[in-house]
Each structure stands twice: as structure tokens, then as C-alpha cells.
Structure 1
Amino acid sequence: MKYNYHVPVSTYSRSLQYMPTDHAATHCTPSHCTPTHNASSHTSTTKYTPAQHNTTRIPSYSKVSQYSSTQRTQTAVQPAPVIPVTPAKRTVHFPNDIIFQDNVRRGDTEQIGRFIRARKVRVDTLFHSGMAALHEAVLTGNLEVVKLLVKYGADVHQRDEDGWTPLHMACSDGYPEIARYLLSKGARTEAENESGEKPAELIDPDCKELVKLFEAI
């Protein structure tokens, strides 16, 4: 039994063996416990003394020790602002010959005259297409540009890389008005290209106007 109730109360005393270090169980012997009727006069004998208990508790975890000043400095440093870089604009510059060729193909008579007067180009220059400005103008069928180029010194006898004259092209592509104008400027009907063809031999039989033009010569 945990307590012996047959023992008189006056002979009851309590002896507590408390070991806080290893948490040992309390041994109570009823024959040695002597309680009194006044609770304030009750005393208990124990082996637990204040000297055995250190009231100052040192925690094993310290935020200050684990968080160094270097880490605080790194946290406080703000990242440098990112400044967007605007790429430089590129300007493409085309050679004057290419610009002049484009003006001829578009029929821009104002720019054609401006380029020639400023001596930015020569009207007899062969472009990368293998043709001169007058050949390009004939292929577009623009009689006004043809007349302008001839006015500024374009040669009606000039040949392209395949030996074609402007009259060859006018006959091959079916432009009777341009062919008539070139003939009026002295274009030769007997001129042969590298394949030995004359302008009249390149005329489409269905182009009656050109056929009649050359029959009358």
C-alpha cells in the first residue's frame, strides 16, 4: 500500500527524497511523517537545497550570437538600380547609283533631274542589274523618263551587258511609242545584240503597231 492508515496521525511524518538532476521518485515512509493540525507549521525534510539549483538559466539558443554584424550589413545594402540602355539607331546609307536606279524605276523625274544636275551619278553607268538608266526607263514603259534621260545626255546606242540597246528592249517588251521616240533620236535598227538579234526580230507579231512602225522604215 502507498499509505498505512493504521499508524496514528501523531507519528506520521513525511520524508521527501527529490533529486532534480535525475528526476528520482519521491520516497515517503509513513512511519517517519509527522503532520500537524496547522498547515503553516508543516515542514518537510528534503535533500533538495538551493545550492543545488542554479536559478540563472542560460539558453542554448541566442539570436545575437547566430546573427553576425556582417549579415546585418549585407541585408542593409540595397542593390544598384538597373539603368536601361537604349541601343543606338542604325542609319543605312545606300550608294547614289542604287538610289538613282530606284528613282528611275519609280519614275521620279524630280529626283532624277536633281541627281544628274548635282553630278551625283552618271547616266551611262551600268547598274548591278547589268543595264544603264535608259534601259531601266524603257523597261518600265515610262516615256517621260526616257525623254528626260536623253535630255541629260543618255546615249540611245548604249548597250547593256548582253549587248541590248534601248531599242531592242522597246521592241521586245512592246512599247511602240518609246521605239518611235528612240528612232527619232537616231537609234539604229541594224544593231545586233550578243545573240545576233536585231530589234525588229524581237517584236511580237501580235503587236501590230510595232510591226507597222518597222515596215515603214
Structure 2
Amino acid sequence: MTELHQAAAAGDYDLVEEILKRNKCNPNQKDIDWNNKTPLHWAAAKGQTEIVRILIENGARPCLRTDNGWTPAHFAAESGKLPVLRYLHSVCAPIDMEDCSGDRPIRIAEIYGHKDCVQFLEKVKAECREHRRTAVIKGLPPKDFDDNWVEERREVERQNRMGHHKKSCFLHK
């Protein structure tokens, strides 16, 4: 966990700002010891809207995913952090992506009983789809794509298929 991860998790805005000004840490660095969470994931989970804002303004990508496919929006929805969800939506961050289990932030908010988050996410669902559609029409790269995560998922699936194949070959010998 980097100093920036720690400051974001602790909600220390001044330290986050100082670290970013010194260009000391990559705001998109994934922490392998914590399921590939970025500082933005931590800030979203803790409901630190101003830290989420300053991280994004300094290059943090809100499309980055953890091992299980969670975006910062999933963490905000789990914790019931409506202001964070509102901010993420205002900057066209992906707030409706599926995780590895097929759950979107709206489902996570439902599970944890955060009705205000569910209502907001339901209200902006069409806007999210329209934003993606407009980006495609204009030929803009999608903001909600984590290339590395997609590649990692393909590799995991490939290894699972190979492992399954090896098991079945072993059973037939």
C-alpha cells in the first residue's frame, strides 16, 4: 500500500493533495495486497468526495477495477456514499458496470439497503447508456474500460480452462 493509498483510505485530504503535488505516487497504482484497489477505490469506499475529486483531477481513472471487477462506484454503493456516486456520475465515470459476478453498483446498493443510492442509480441509468452510445458514435475511446483488468480476466479464464482440461485428462488416464 502506497502513501497515497493510505492517505486516501484515512481521508487525509491535505496529505493526498501534498502527495499529488509532489507527483510522488501514481494515482492509478493498484495495490496487489488489497485486491488491486487504487487510492480512488479507497476514497470512494470511505465516502471522501473531495479526495475522489482531487484524485480524478490528477489523473486517477474511475474505470479501474479490483480483482473481482469492482469500480469505485461499487465501493461507494456498498457503503451508501451517495455524494460520491453523484460526483462520479458528474464526471461521466462508469457507475453501472458489472463485476465478475454480474452485479452492478445498483445491485450492491440494494443488497446493503441504501435506498437513496438505488434511486439515484436507477434515475441515471439511461444517461449512462446514452453517454456510452454518444462516445461510440463520436469515435471517442470509452472511459469505462480497464484494459489491464480485461486482459487479466482473459488470462484467468484461460488458466481455468487449462486446469479444467488437465483435470479431465487426468481422470481419463
Does the pair score TM above 0.5?
A: yes
Structure 1 residue 166 and structure 2 residue 51: aligned? no
| Contact 1:123 1:154 (8 Å CA) reproduced | yes
Mean CA deviation greater in 205-214 or 146-155: 205-214
- Looking at structure 2, the residues matched to 190 and 216 of structure 1 have their Cα atoms a distance apart, in angstroms, of 12
Contact 2:47-2:84 at 8 Å conserved across structures? yes
Is 1:154–2:70 an aligned residue pair?
no
**What does 1:57-136 correspond to in 2, within 5 Å?**
98-127=2-31, 128-129=33-34, 130-136=36-42
Q: Distance in 2 between matches of 1:196 and 1:115?
A: 35
Cα distance in 1, alignment partners of residues 74 and 119 from structure 2 = 16
- Paired residues of 1:138 and 1:146 also in contact (CA < 8 A): yes
Q: Which has the higher helix share?
A: 2
Q: Decide whether the 8 Å contact of 1:156 with 1:185 is kept in 2.
A: no
Residue identity in the other structure for 1:158: L
What is residue 209 of structure 1 aligned with on the other side? Answer: 116
Answer whether contact 2:2 2:25 (CA < 8 A) is retained. Answer: no
Unaligned runs of 5+ in 2: 125-173
Output the TM-score relative to the length of structure 1.
0.52
Deviations 1:47-69 (A, max 9, x none): xxxxxxxxxxxxxxxxxxxxxxx
Q: Which residue is equivalent to 1:182? A: 88
Gaps of 5+ in 1: 1-96
Runs of 4+ residues deviating >4 angstroms: none
Answer with 1 or 2: which has the greater Rg.
1
Aligned residue in 2 for 1:200: 106
Q: Which amino acid aligns with 2:22?
A: A
Higher normalized contact order (CA 8 Å, seq sep 6+, divided by chain length): 2
1:126 Cα deviation after fit: 0.7
RMSD: 1.7
Q: What displacement does 1:134 show?
A: 0.1
Structure-2-length-normalised TM-score: 0.64
Residues 124-172 of structure 1, C-alpha deviations (whole Å, 9 max, x = no match): 0012212000001111111111111111111111111221111111112
Per-residue CA distance 1:91-145 (angstroms, 9 max, x = gap): xxxxxx5322221122222221221222211000012212000001111111111
